[in-house]
A and B are shown apart, each in its own frame.
Chain A
Amino acid sequence: MFHKSFIRRQLTRSRQQTVVFVLCVVLSMVTLIALDSFSRSVNESMLMDARTLHAGDIIIHSHYDFSPTLDDAVGSLVKQGLIQAARVYDLYSVVRTAGDKDSLLVDLKIVEPGYPFYGAVELKSQRPLEKVLTQGNIIVEQGVLDRLHLQAGDTLNVGEATLMIADVVLHEPDRPVNFFSLGPRVFVSSRDLEALNLVQKGSRVDHLYLLKVQDPGNVDRLAAELRDVATPDRERVDTYRTAGSRIKRFFDNFLFFLDLIAIFTLLLAGIGIQSAVTAFLQEKEKTVAIMKAVGATNRFITLQFIVVLCLLGLAGTVLGVLLGFFLQNFLPFVFQGLLPQNIRTGISGWAVLKGFFLGVFAVAIFTSLPLYRLRDLKPAVIFRKEETGNRRGLPFYLTVLGVVLVFAAMILWQLRDVRIGLYFISGVGVLIALATLLSEAVLLSIRKRKIKSLPLRQAFKGLFRPRNATKAVIVTLTASLSVIFSITLLDKNLDANFIQSYPEDAPNVFFLDIQTSQLEAFSRELGIQAEYYPVVRGRIRSINGEPVDVAREWQRRGDNLAREFNLTYRDYLLKDEALLQGESLFRTGVEGVQVSVLDTFAEANGIKMGDRIAFNIQGVPLDTTVVSIRTRTKEFIQPFFYFVFQEKVLKAAPQTVFTAVRLPPREISAIQNRMVASFPNVSVIDLTETVQVFARILGKLSGITRFFTLFSIIAGVLILVSSVLATRFVRTQETVYFKILGARRSFILKVLTLENGILGLLSALIALLLSQAGSWTISRWIFDIAYHPFPLWSLLMIFSTLALVVAVGLVSSISILRQKPVIFLREQTEE
């Protein structure tokens, strides 16, 4: 059944084609395997040490001070010796140096003795935390010392207390990554809590109870008991196994996004596999025709090539798995700064299995079409030297449809999210369709043009060479470049809007947590006309009688309805607001509580005028009716609220106030120092500094994204190489004829350079057009920011593509350029 020597011959000859094929198989799986193993490692590192990640067995969280019932319940369990408990307060505050000369926004963590129950806070001095963090002492991150030019032993004003810097913190177990923090960490002992006077009613404080259960078997039971006494929607009781982690949630989302890019690469590599197999089988056409002429059946021939492709696919799969693990070990460097310190990468059996499955699957679906074409090959090919076109009948289109459907199913299986999977498939489909249509239109217009210059004309002719994968190369390169260009353009636009040229009229300093009792004095001290926004926290219970499914909402990838919302009250529209629906913000003569909803929230959640939204405002139920829908007329750096109530409804609720003002940048520091000296509980966020943090995060994330998108560019390059290999005979023939007719090497080089240059230029231009349109749409309609086309960056991206395609095209054509005319002619005569 198997012809071993035939199979061996096919494997050892046509080496270039087999190498490209194997590389495409490798590429199709390497990013998916690497990401799969990597996300497993991240998850395992976080879950395996989940106790350390949360620093306790049971974690109780609230944005408010704990209810007396819960406090009592915890106290009772402590008394019974069933648990140990430690209170933790986490809040942003501004600290000042002695004499209030300098100030800095820091992330304060006020902890009771006992914290952390699991893991350890590592200090520079290597001493234990409890020995250093005593009353009157603080421990700070190195950033505090660097930015305020202080050293251990100096004092710092925190709230209303003056405390001494006793040590520097290197690592804390329950904050494995501090990349996203707006300010450096400062640890304060709970014995100084009162002296600080920072934790007041309505302040933005994360209240935590960390509990260590003496008998691990009691964790779930005690958690359930405490859950029973906790205030619903306000106090969340979790065990270390069920507690969510922001960092884990971030990784889930980001790795999911990278998975989409990896699947995109798989698709492009699949096209590469198909292209390489086509080139490989085209070279075998004469052999196949001779076999058929001497009586070999289609079944026999197809079987031999299936074995050949399976062996090559296996080689690619093994190599892909190995490289996937190599890349996985390299990923911690790519993600540097974003990862927890304890991350351990390793080989996962499941990832290996999945890798093999993916490799075999990719080979099977993407080689089916070229193998199918082999059946149509007639023995008469032996006698023909010219190219024959491919007939495309119903079976061909059915095979294409089958390949598309199977691939779509694989994407859905990989993503495990049907909605996003379908969006992704549609998006990629639209992208490929647009790239195909545009390249088709451009190629058609080129074909009809009369070109005077001989090298240029010859280069254009080369694009339409029989069997040239011109369209496939342009479509693949266009699709991958569109993604990379879009990421770059969006990155640049976000940078331009928020980092480089911060809007001149936008507020640049936020004063948070102003107590209502301080409002008058604060306004006087600030001395600037400013809008003050009261903030009342509340949750949504139900919409139109449909209760919010908390568990499901927390699974959502975007904003979720179960979170706590900032509500406000006023009876007028802000300057940057306009009504979309409703004649006024609130109606007169309407019974019940009215609420005005922002259009973005309404659109995302299908809220209409007249809908009923039930809130829980710090334990008080409030049923409301939507009476107007607002929109914003300026960029989102202006403060905004999803829900606005009438003043009479919320005025009495526990609240804080914040304001956002525009200050001359040079005066920010002095005003910040002055204000926090007078109002130590007020947090000041200098947005000009905050945007630097966002710039760093944005830069890192787009860098990682670009790194993964580069693999799709490699797929495009491989398709280009396989296209050169597929047309090798015709290209060599042309080169030899040109030489015989007196063309110099420089002429042939010029033609090749121009041909590849046109290919690269067309791909880059179409990709730029698509990415400019896509980035403009996202900037205007999703980010709501002004759009800049970045012409210089666009040119740079075009030239980079041009250089890459020309270089790859020329390198893969070296052997063609070196071909001696007499040898080629002799081979042709001998045939």
Chain B
Amino acid sequence: MTILEAQQLTKTYRLGDREICVLDGVSVAVAEGEFLVIQGSSGSGKTTLLTLLSGLDKPTSGRILLEGIDITDFKEEELAPLRNTSIGFVFQSFHLVPSLTAIENVMFPAELRHDHDAEEKANILLRRVGLLDRAGNFPHQLSGGERQRVAICRALINNPKIVFADEPTGNLDSSNGKAILDLLLELQKERRATLILVTHSQEIARTSDRIIFLKDGRIAAHGLGSHQGGRDGFSEQHHVS
């Protein structure tokens, strides 16, 4: 069943006199519980696609449907509850609130929806990622890997239907990066969430259900990851002309 669908998404920016087209008629449908990887070189439009799909930005044209509801023209106030309950974010730069401790960062989305069990849920998640003893630490007192684990807990505390991850291992060394990705996938499976992940890594892409490859703002190719029987990322790819 399709949980998220993008129809002919276009995004253009004005840079001085020039108009730059970052995305050009991208359509994609994501199934519930799917792990979709978006790949492409720098400037190909992958982060832009992620921000459009997650409702952080609005397309110049095209539609976005979340669970069949058109959210393209939703105002910020209509998007806020969606972001709080249906969507989780994990960023390359972690983006933890500096004035809040690790546990307060994790609890925050649950507290926003007046969840009385926020603290308990945050404790469970932090224990699950091995950070219970660092719960009272502020972000600047944590290592990069620890910060990203806190960010993952924060993204999952409200059991979102979709998790958007923008190069979550980009700021981490390889061993930490692998650990974080394993954790993210584990938790995604446990909670049966849809995961849409932007990455440069072929290795990560191979573990996905499906891969789309962006080039110059268009889907240049898509293929199946190893979970769907693909052997080597784009070995089963279909080039789009």
Please give the residue numbers on chain A whose beta carbons come within 8 Å of chain B beta carbons, in ascending order.
Answer: 386-387, 454, 461-462, 464-466, 730, 733-734, 737-745, 747, 820-822, 825-826, 828-829
Contacts and interface: CB of A to CB of B under 8 A. Distances in A.
Contacts of A738: 97, 108
B47 to A, nearest CB: 7
Contact of A825 (B56, B96, B99): B56
B99 A461 contact: yes
A743 B108 CA distance: 10
B99 A462 contact: yes
Contacts of B82: 742
Nearest to B170: A829
B73 interface: no
Looking at chain B's contact residues, is the secondary structure mostly helix, strand, loop, or mixed? helix
B208 interface: no
A785 to B, nearest CB: 49
Given A454-B111, A734-B99, A825-B91, A741 B77 contact: no
A22 to B, nearest CB: 31
Contacts of B57: 820, 822
Contacts of B56: 740, 821-822, 825
Contacts of B96: 737
B234 interface: no
A464 B100 CA distance: 11
Which of A462, A737, A741, A826 gathers the greatest number of chain B CB atoms within 10 Å? Answer: A741
A464 B99 contact: yes
Contacts of B97: 733-734, 737-738
Contact of B95 (A462, A465, A747, A825): A825
Which of B80, B84, B93 gathers the greatest number of chain A CB atoms within 10 Å? Answer: B80
A829 to B, nearest CB: 7
A730 B98 contact: yes
Contact of A737 (B47, B92, B95): B95
Contact of A386 (B81, B87, B113, B140): B140
A1 B77 CA distance: 53
B98 A741 contact: no
A26 B28 CA distance: 59
B76 interface: yes
A742 B47 CA distance: 20
B159 interface: no
18 contacts: A386-B98, A386-B139, A387-B98, A387-B140, A465-B99, A739-B83, A740-B95, A741-B83, A742-B80, A742-B84, A742-B109, A743-B80, A744-B77, A820-B57, A822-B51, A825-B91, A828-B93, A829-B93
Q: Classify chain B's interface size.
A: 20 to 34
Given A462-B99, A742-B82, A821-B56, A747 B112 contact: yes
Interface in B41-71: 47, 51, 56-57
B93 A741 contact: no
Contacts of A745: 76-77, 80
A386 B139 CA distance: 9
A461 B98 CA distance: 10
B148 interface: no
Contacts of A829: 47, 92-93
Contacts of B35: none
A740 B92 contact: no
Nearest to B56: A822
Given A466-B98, A739-B76, 14 more contacts: A386-B139, A454-B108, A739-B83, A741-B89, A741-B109, A741-B154, A742-B82, A742-B85, A745-B77, A825-B51, A825-B56, A825-B91, A825-B95, A829-B47
Which of B82, B95, B139, B140 gathers the greatest number of chain A CB atoms within 10 Å? Answer: B95
Nearest to B85: A742
Contacts of B77: 744-745
A454 B89 contact: no
Nearest to B108: A741
Contacts of B112: 454, 741-743, 747
Nearest to A737: B97
A585 B201 CA distance: 103
A822 B111 CA distance: 23
Given A386-B140, A825-B91, A829-B93, A740 B83 contact: yes
B72 to A, nearest CB: 15
A742 B92 CA distance: 19
Which of A386, A461, A825 gathers the greatest number of chain B CB atoms within 10 Å? Answer: A825
A743 B57 CA distance: 16
Contact of B81 (A739, A742, A821, A828): A742
A822 B113 CA distance: 23
A784 B99 CA distance: 51
The 4 residue pairs across chains A and B that have the minimum distance between CB atoms = A742-B84, A742-B83, A822-B57, A744-B80
Which of A730, A733, A742, A820 gathers the greatest number of chain B CB atoms within 10 Å? Answer: A742
B140 to A, nearest CB: 5
A754 to B, nearest CB: 14
Contacts of B47: 826, 829
A464 B109 CA distance: 21
A677 B143 CA distance: 98
Nearest to B89: A740
A461 B100 contact: yes
Nearest to B91: A825
A741 B113 CA distance: 11
Nearest to B54: A740
B212 to A, nearest CB: 21
Contacts of B87: 742
A733 B89 CA distance: 15
A464 B138 CA distance: 13
Contacts of B98: 386-387, 466, 730, 733-734
Which of A739, A744, A747, A828 gathers the greatest number of chain B CB atoms within 10 Å? Answer: A744
A743 B81 CA distance: 8
Contacts of B154: 741
B80 A739 contact: yes
Contacts of A741: 83-84, 89, 108-109, 112, 154
Contacts of A826: 47
B168 to A, nearest CB: 13
B110 to A, nearest CB: 10
Contacts of B113: 742
A829 B50 CA distance: 14
A747 B98 CA distance: 18
Nearest to B47: A829
A759 to B, nearest CB: 16
A829 B56 CA distance: 15
B224 to A, nearest CB: 29
Interface in B105-119: 108-109, 111-113
Contacts of A387: 98, 140
A738 B93 CA distance: 16
Nearest to B96: A737
B196 to A, nearest CB: 15
A826 B50 CA distance: 12
A466 B111 CA distance: 24
Contacts of B92: 829
A740 B140 CA distance: 20
Contacts of A730: 98-99
A745 to B, nearest CB: 6
Contacts of A743: 80, 84, 112
Interface string B174-202: 00000000000000000000000000000
A740 B109 CA distance: 10
Contacts of A747: 112
A792 to B, nearest CB: 37
A734 B96 CA distance: 9
A510 B200 CA distance: 98
A412 B172 CA distance: 60
Contacts of B139: 386
Contacts of A740: 56, 83, 89, 95
A730 B99 CA distance: 9
B68 to A, nearest CB: 21
Nearest to A743: B112
A747 B81 CA distance: 12
